[in-house]
Structure 1
Amino acid sequence: MTLITLVRHGQTDWNLEGRIQGSTDIPLNDTGRAQAEEVAVRLAGTRFDHVYTSPLSRAVETAEIIAGALALPAPLTTAGMREHEFGEAEGMLWEQYVDRFRGKRDQVPGAETVQQLTDRALASLQRIDLAARRRSAPREESVLVATHGGVIRALLEHASGGTLPAPGESLGNGSVHRFAMDGGGIRLLDTVVV
């Protein structure tokens, strides 16, 4: 079994403005860096064998801050954990998005579907789980993955059979979500708000 701790990246200026980032590469702001440091404090004492990150700079910097604070190896990049590609909605304010597309993520031109996002994120986690089991069998391995709200939301929906997150629930920057994987299946262990 592999324990997987997903951390949502820290705040960016677009988060602060309420803009949809998607796969647009927006860096952390100073608040986001402080949030990553707070996550490291909250996770101190937790064993992690490896750190992974989405290739987007806001997740990379979050992972680097946490890894540095916890004296962990440098983060490894995993493309499958990048944010939901929102197509034409990227850069829009959330209000504009809801007004124009009625909040239907799967109907935005150029956007990937929620199922596509879920499938690629699960495939990425399955590769991480397989590598962990090869390295550590029979010992349980624990990994940290810096990723994005859309990815975490999709995985929460998948693991809970659609009951989580609650309608309208926001996944805050720096939030922590723990899952377990064992040969392909994923289950939610807990969510820690930071």
Structure 2
Amino acid sequence: MSTLYLIRHGQASFGTDNYDQLSQTGRKQVQLLGEYFAEAGERIDRIYTGTLQRQKETAEIIASALGSTVPPVAVDGAFDEYDSDVMLREFAGSLTAAELAEAGWPELRHDRRKFQFFLERAARAWVEARIEATAMLPWKNFHGRITGALQRIMQSEGRSKTLMISTSGGVIGTTVAHVLGLSNHMGVELNWAVHNASITRLIYSSEKVSLSMFNALPHLDRQGRRELITYR
């Protein structure tokens, strides 16, 4: 059997000019995560990461924390998150002026609660193919890109490997729903539950893939660190 860890990136810089970078809290979350894996003594054979800066920063911090057993890091765009900016823009374009005013668009980008509610509505529209744009992958293509890449990695890496993927909540939710045979809508719902710098673990062989851990925070869920637990 082999092990595949799906790691959500640390907290990004919500509300700033450049969301796609780790915040100070995000870097701390990931540093503690890397130290957790180092202390566990489990050898990581390779770390994969998407191309987004917050994903690559997360992979680099974890790799560095592993010390003398630093694994190689491979960049694979298949593990990039969906483009929320395009999704939100297209969804906003599908609403009436009154609906936009009620939602608070576009000022809601600086309000975490309103932003999350609007993003959830946009994501449902995306999954149901009610919005589309040339700059945005259809849901079925996003799903296929992820599952295809996972299958390729599992086949190419061989047996008895321990791998890690630094990615995002949408990728993790989609993967878990796929492994459990859940609906596309459940994949999106799982996305909202995934904490920053959390651990999801898959166990796999040539015949089967199983979920053995979801959204765990053993490095943060303890006294003196719980204030570092975040969703966004």
Under a length normalisation based on structure 2, what TM-score does the superposition of the two structures give? 0.68
Q: Which residue of 1 aligns with 2:199?
A: 176
Deviation at 1:192, TM superposition (A): 4.8
Q: Which residue of 2 aligns with 1:33?
A: 27
Question: Comparing both structures, which one devotes a greater share of its residues to helix?
Answer: 2
CA contact (8 A) 2:87 2:123 kept: no
Q: What SS does the aligned partner of 2:193 have?
A: coil
Deviation at 1:89, TM superposition (A): 1.2
Q: Which residue of 1 aligns with 2:92?
A: none
Give the Cα–Cα distance (whole angstroms) in 2 for the partners of residues 144 and 121 of structure 1: 14
Q: Which residue of 2 aligns with 1:104?
A: 125
Q: Against the structure 1 CA distance between its residues 102 and 131, is the aligned structure 2 distance closer, same or farther, given a 3 Å change threshold?
A: closer
Q: Which residue of 1 aligns with 2:71?
A: 73
CA contact (8 A) 2:9 2:167 kept: yes
Give the Cα–Cα distance (whole angstroms) in 2 for the partners of residues 162 and 30 of structure 1: 35
Give the Cα–Cα distance (whole angstroms) in 1 for the partners of residues 178 and 25 of structure 2: 30
Give the Cα–Cα distance (whole angstroms) in 1 for the partners of residues 165 and 42 of structure 2: 14
Residue 131, structure 1, aligned to residue 160, structure 2 = no
Q: Against the structure 1 CA distance between its residues 167 and 146, is the aligned structure 2 distance closer, same or farther, given a 3 Å change threshold?
A: closer
CA contact (8 A) 2:126 2:139 kept: yes
Q: Against the structure 1 CA distance between its residues 56 and 184, is the aligned structure 2 distance closer, same or farther, given a 3 Å change threshold?
A: farther
RMSD value over aligned CA atoms? Answer: 2.8
Give the Cα–Cα distance (whole angstroms) in 1 for the partners of residues 80 and 207 of structure 2: 20
Partner amino acid for 1:30? Answer: Q
CA contact (8 A) 2:48 2:164 kept: yes
Deviation at 1:42, TM superposition (A): 2.4
CA contact (8 A) 1:52 1:78 kept: yes
- After superposition, residues 1-194 of structure 1 pair within 5 angstroms as 1-14=1-14, 17=15, 26-44=20-38, 45-71=41-67, 72-86=70-84, 87-89=86-88, 93-98=115-120, 101=122, 103-106=124-127, 107-110=130-133, 111-133=136-158, 139-162=159-182, 170-183=193-206, 185-194=208-217
CA contact (8 A) 1:114 1:154 kept: no
Rg larger in 1 or in 2? 2
Give the Cα–Cα distance (whole angstroms) in 2 for the partners of residues 7 and 98 of structure 1: 22
Give the Cα–Cα distance (whole angstroms) in 2 for the partners of residues 153 and 128 of structure 1: 18
- Structure 1 vs Structure 2: percent identity of aligned residues? 26
Structure 1 unaligned runs (5+)? Answer: 134-138
Q: Against the structure 1 CA distance between its residues 183 and 79, is the aligned structure 2 distance closer, same or farther, given a 3 Å change threshold?
A: farther
Under a length normalisation based on structure 1, what TM-score does the superposition of the two structures give? 0.80
Deviation at 1:162, TM superposition (A): 1.5
Structure 2 unaligned runs (5+)? Answer: 90-105, 110-114, 218-232
Deviation at 1:25, TM superposition (A): 6.8
Q: Against the structure 1 CA distance between its residues 98 and 172, is the aligned structure 2 distance closer, same or farther, given a 3 Å change threshold?
A: closer
CA contact (8 A) 1:89 1:108 kept: no
Partner amino acid for 2:155? Answer: L
Give the Cα–Cα distance (whole angstroms) in 2 for the partners of residues 166 and 105 of structure 1: 10
Q: Against the structure 1 CA distance between its residues 141 and 13, is the aligned structure 2 distance closer, same or farther, given a 3 Å change threshold?
A: same
